[in-house]
Amino acid sequence: MVTAHRFPLGSATTLTELEVDPHPRLALLRAREPVSWLPVLGGWLVTRRDLALRVMRDAATFTVDDPRFSTAQVVGPSMLSVEGAEHRRHRAPFADPFRAQDVHDRFTGFVEREAARLVEGIRPRGSAELRREVAGPLAVAVVAESLGLVGADAGAVLSWYDAMVGAVSDITAGLPANPAGSAAFDQLRGSVEATVAAGGEATVAAGGEASLLVTAAESKRLKLPEVVANAAVLMFGGIETTEGMITNAVLHLLANPGQLALVRADPDLVDAAIEESLRLEPAAAVVDRYATADVTIGGADVRRGDLVVVSLAGANRDPETFQDPDGFDLRRSNSRLQLAFAHGPHFCLGAHLARLETRACLRALLDRLPGLRLDPASPTAPRGLIFRKPPALRVRWDQPSHSPR
């Protein structure tokens, strides 16, 4: 039995602390209890980078394949919730379209046009709330485009996503799932079935290529219910974390005028800004695993069946890897060692697409909204236990007398 005496820092940690500003507590845990028992999580929290890598790389000992995994309870088995050969079978049909060059060729034009359209829509006003008016709509539009669902626009995709996330959240909190989640999943299933039935006629408008779902179904590796489950998982990852990634990156740049000046002087530094923002505040702060055997890690005796939570936020500020880890520094040479997209077999499939969306959005905002700045009347900061982003990001800008070229 784990005692408070053995892990005093973990036992004293509160949910409010982890949701509002976890970084001071994570730094203490990383230094003194790098694998600590947190009663508020009902599991172990791993905060040191080397130990986080060990957990995420060792899927045989630390697995996602557990009946407690809430997403699988809503959508069924998917690449998110199985391991080994089954995981490779689920992931393989989607892997090629998400490689860096394929993402660039297939989606750059669409993403850049959509980002420009959204920013132009707010430009005449001089102020806006960027999370819900730009970042979120861009993420939803790209998911809808990439899946190429027949009879489903971005609005439908967003409504299904909201309902299914609500059901997953209910289960995670120990509550009965809201039936709206099942209804939304049924609607998604119907759209996926129609898309697969349309075959080659269901194309992604950006490149006139077959829908990712059609390609997956025609690969014969997945049964239709498995294609549906993975479509839901792509929605979760493509909307929630990408919206957060974009919003956090804008916040970090605008909150650091010296770093923003560097990007304005050298637009190629946008990519460095993205990596540093991912390091400083990953949109997904934690990933869950379950121990398949008794194991000692970081001085903690983890028992078979225990929940093991990897703090990506903690690992990303490990001073053993990152000098001045709490600073936002575009000149940092090793920002790409951040673990915001996780690591190991469950490394985020959509990492290249998420980077493309964030890059296009940042450039559109900086190019089209002169004098872009945070609204001083609405201070904000990221918050959230699992997914971290500002609840709202209100900004202002100067209104030019002429349109940008």
pLDDT, averaged in runs of 10, over the chain (405 residues): 81 96 98 98 97 98 93 90 95 91 93 98 97 95 88 88 87 84 92 86 62 86 92 90 97 97 96 98 96 98 98 98 98 97 96 97 97 96 93 93 53
Instruction: Give strand ranges (E) for 145-259.
Output: 203-204, 209-210
At 93, list the tokens.
Answer: 């049909």
Q: How many CA atoms lie within 13 A of 251 on its CB side?
A: 29
Euclidean distance between CA atoms 318 and 326, whole angstroms? 9
- CATH number where 243 lies: 1.10.630.10
DSSP 101: H
At 372 the three-state DSSP class reads coil
At 203 the three-state DSSP class reads strand
Full residue range of the structural domain in which residue 333 is found: 63-77+93-223+231-291+320-396
In this structure, is residue 342 part of a structural domain?
yes
Give the torsion sign (CA, 359, 360, 366, 372). negative
In this structure, is residue 380 part of a structural domain?
yes
Q: In terms of Cα–Cα distance, which of 391, 382, 240 is closest to 313?
A: 382
In this structure, is residue 184 part of a structural domain?
yes
pLDDT at site 400: 66
pLDDT at site 3: 61
| Structural domains counted in the chain | 1
In this structure, is residue 277 part of a structural domain?
yes
In this structure, is residue 10 part of a structural domain?
no
pLDDT at site 307: 97
Tell me the sheet residues that pair with 295. Answer: 302
In this structure, is residue 37 part of a structural domain?
no
In this structure, is residue 54 part of a structural domain?
no
Tokens 């791993």 identify what position?
46
In this structure, is residue 14 part of a structural domain?
no
Using an 8 Å Cβ cutoff, are 273 and 252 in contact? yes
At 206, list the tokens.
Answer: 């950006």
